[in-house]
Amino acid sequence: MRIWGVEQDRTEFAEFYAAARDDCLRIVLISAGHRELAEDLVAEAFSRAWMSWRTVRDHPAPRAWVVRTALNTRVSWWRRRPREVALDGHDVAAATSQHPALDGSLVAALRRRPVRQREVIALRLLLDLDTETTARVLGISSGTVGVHLHRALAALREELGPPPASGPANEGPADEPGGRRSPDHGAAPPASRTSPDLSRASR
């Protein structure tokens, strides 16, 4: 029975790893800033997840557990390292490829936020956890999650500015010369480049 239980744990963990690894890596890469470092942190986090698999398996958000563990590992690594490795173009592309709303400037701006704000952004918006689950994962209150999220979003909006308008400035309906737009036919305002998730995050 013991052997069967171990084999079942291995199967469950292997399935979890295959399903979650890439998402966790992309989120950690945004914070870590270097692909090799992010891969090492995620590998360490999954190793710890396996050692505590029955606890992680029953966690309300196992992926968040892995991301949080990886980010905590990075904090320890960062304290021992005098300078951070720069995020190059390849790693920006890797970090944003599965999150199209995260362009390079947004990734860079996220990485300039304090650690706790990045953690809240990662869990609330990138992993799409609710406020209560985010609070449990981080060991803080729901109100503190809201404060960090509000400050992070305010700082990002101030740094990045309003999203650019889409389409040529003079584009208009064919029956209106000179590119004038009637009130009934104007284009809908473009979505914010900080993603639709940012607009609902404060709920």
The domain spans of the chain are 2-163
CA-CA distance, 39 to 7, in Å (whole number)? 26
Task: Give the number of residues written for the chain.
Answer: 203
Least confident of 5-9, 65-69, 131-135: 5-9
pLDDT over 60 at 86, yes or no: no
| pLDDT value, residue 145 | 96
Give yes or no for residue 194 having a pLDDT over 50.
Answer: no
Q: What are phi and psi of 8, to 5 degrees?
A: -65, -40
pLDDT surpasses 60 at 44:
yes
* Helices vs. strands in the chain: H and E counts, helices first: 10, 0
User: Which pTM value belongs to this model?
Assistant: 0.62
How many other C-beta atoms can be found within 10 angstroms of the C-beta atom of residue 135? 20
Greater confidence (102 vs 28) lies with: 28
Mean pLDDT of 132-154: 93
Under 8 Å between Cβ of 107 and 52: no
Q: Does the pLDDT of residue 45 top 90, yes or no?
A: yes
User: Is 117 in contact with 166 (CB distance < 8 Å)?
Assistant: no
Structure token digits, residue 138? 């981080």
The predicted-structure confidence for 177-186, as pLDDT tens digits, reads as follows: 444 444 444 4
Q: Which CATH architecture has domain 2-163?
A: Orthogonal Bundle (1.10)
pLDDT surpassing 50 at residue 153: yes
| Four-residue CA torsion sign, 126, 62, 47, 119 | positive
The whole-number average pLDDT for the span 127-156 is 92
d(CA 154, CA 182): 33
The answer for residues whose C-beta is within 8 angstroms of residue 66's C-beta and 6 or more apart is 20, 24, 42, 45, 46, 49, 56
Torsion of the alpha carbons at 176, 182, 184 and 187, rounded to the nearest 10:
90
